[in-house]
Amino acid sequence: MKNFNDLELIIFDLDGTLVDSSVDITNALNYAITAYGIKPLAVDDTIKIVGEGLTRLIEKIIGDNNASIKDSALDRFIQYYSEHLADFTKPYPGVTKTLEMLGGYKKAVISNKREALSKKLLEQVGLIKFFDAVLGSDSASERKPSPAPVKKVLEILGVEPHRAIIVGDSNFDIEAGKGAGVTTIAVTYGYRSREMLGSADFLIDNMNQLLTLIGKQ
């Protein structure tokens, strides 16, 4: 079992890890695509395809045949989502309490949502105060699963890779963490199946278990 005595930094994914934003993302997507006659999505449809960033999300939905509407659909999504970031979005159970208990550690968020939207969402759900750094899809040279944003956070906060962990709900978080040399922890309650998380160093079923894992309770 890994010893977390030298842990300095905990990096979190945002959507599917800290907050359940699936309803608000689905509503914004449907606002963006139904104007073009594309069938609306259910929440279950959305959570299967989120994670690679907004542009890729729109591309997956509209398909190659509708490439000409990509930019306008993207604009419609951003316009709507920016105004409805937290209509239904809330932190998952145990997240706020866990963050309060992690006061002795540096903490960061790395999302494949754009940085401005990530910060605005964290503000609206009352979590921004817990974090020393927030990076989005446009904050580093590449987004997850590239290790680039993880390496950037390590550099910004002055932490060696072996003193950091990343907590996320997808294979993108795991790959980004492993590529940067940090310990990976996957949550099983997010947007990806347990089977997709098998390469993580540790699995946790709720955020409270993070405290137990690192020896904080």
pLDDT in tens, 67-112: 789 899 999 999 999 999 999 999 999 999 999 999 999 999 999 9
Alpha carbons 58 and 67: distance in angstroms, whole number? 10
DSSP state of 102: T
**What is the phi-psi region of residue 16: left when phi exceeds 0, alpha when psi lies from -120 to 50, beta otherwise?**
left
pTM across the whole model = 0.95
pLDDT in tens, 34-74: 999 999 999 999 999 888 878 888 988 888 777 789 899 99
Task: Using the Cα atoms of residue 169, residue 170, residue 172 and residue 174 in order, give the sign of their dihedral.
Answer: positive
pLDDT of residue 139: 96
pLDDT in tens, 105-155: 999 999 999 999 999 999 999 999 999 999 999 999 999 999 999 999 999
Alpha carbons 27 and 135: distance in angstroms, whole number? 24
Answer yes or no: 13 catalytic. yes
The CA radius of gyration of the chain, in Å to the nearest whole number, is 17
Active-site position among 13, 24, 169, 173: 13
Domain ranges of the chain: 9-20+89-213, 22-83
Mean pLDDT score, 26-31: 96
Confidence of residue 203 (pLDDT cuts 50, 70, 90): very high
CATH superfamily of 9-20+89-213: HAD superfamily/HAD-like (3.40.50.1000)
pLDDT of residue 216: 84
Token pair recorded at residue 104: 């002795």
Confidence of residue 1 (pLDDT cuts 50, 70, 90): low
pLDDT of residue 24: 97
Degrees to nearest 5, angle at CA 17 with 205 and 189: 35
